[in-house]
Homo-oligomer: A and B are copies of this chain.
Amino acid sequence: MPKAIYEGIYRDLKGKIQEGTYSYQELLPTENELTQTYNCSRNTLRRAISMLADDAYVQPMHGRGVRVIWQREQRVPQGSLDGVESFDEYAQRNDVQPTTSVKSFEHVVCGARLAARTGFPEGSDLIRVVRVRALDGVPRQVDHDCFLASAVPGLTPEIASVSVYQYLEGKLNMRILTSRRRITVQLATDEDCSYLKLGPYNCVAVIESQSFNSAGIMFEYTQVRHHPEEFSYNTVSRR
């Protein structure tokens, strides 16, 4: 049971769109009708609709109605990252076996160069981790992580080899709420080549990301270098 009413309505409508109760290019029932079926206020309903619009499931049209724009075939394909899904969640969703190999794990003090690149304040105490992550035994990505040491007490190489996020959420009760990302394409380094079997590719897809916890503290900077094959980043933009 969802905590909030708007979230329950959001999920219900989303499910109904996915299963075809409301299909591509159709109009949803009007707000007045939906407030009656869900027995809620118009504001609450509109919040749910707005979330569906953010997901590119529907598009509200002033004075006309709300059109469904979600297409079944267009569903997020197998090889895709999106939102804040973790490597393990992704593996589980696609029913493949994730493995992680920790290549290095060290405490460092943030210098000027690292500060400029990561956004951490100079002089911060950081934990730097390099990991190679594979799916069904095939190396897919090289992770370069920097954690704010004070924010991840008790982090060990053993934990890093399983799932840092499970540790953060489970033990430390910390959640990623906001994450800024930059996606670029870079020439593969010798390190990339040694860890990933790049085949014909001489480039990797790079996602840099700064993550903020619920206290608004940036506790993680990550640079993930992906094998180009199967790499796909899906997103929605609206204005």
- What residues make up the interface of A, taking CB atoms closer than 8 Å to B? 25, 53, 56, 58-59, 61, 64, 67-69, 71, 73-74, 80, 82-84, 116, 119, 176-187, 200-205, 210, 212, 214-216, 218, 226, 228, 231-239
Contact = CB atoms under 8 A, between A and B. Distances in A.
B203 A239 contact: no
Nearest to A83: B237
Interface residues of A, dominant DSSP: strand
A231 B56 contact: no
Contacts of A183: 183, 205, 232-235
A111 B3 CA distance: 46
Contacts of A210: 74
A204 B185 CA distance: 8
Taking the full assembly, how many copies of this chain does it contain?
Answer: 2
Contact of A239 (B25, B83, B116): B83
A119 B59 contact: no
A205 to B, nearest CB: 5
Contacts of A234: 180-183
A236 B237 CA distance: 10
Contacts of A215: 61, 64, 67
Contact of A178 (B73, B212, B226, B236): B236
A234 B208 CA distance: 10
A133 to B, nearest CB: 18
Given A202-B200, A235-B235, A180 B216 contact: no
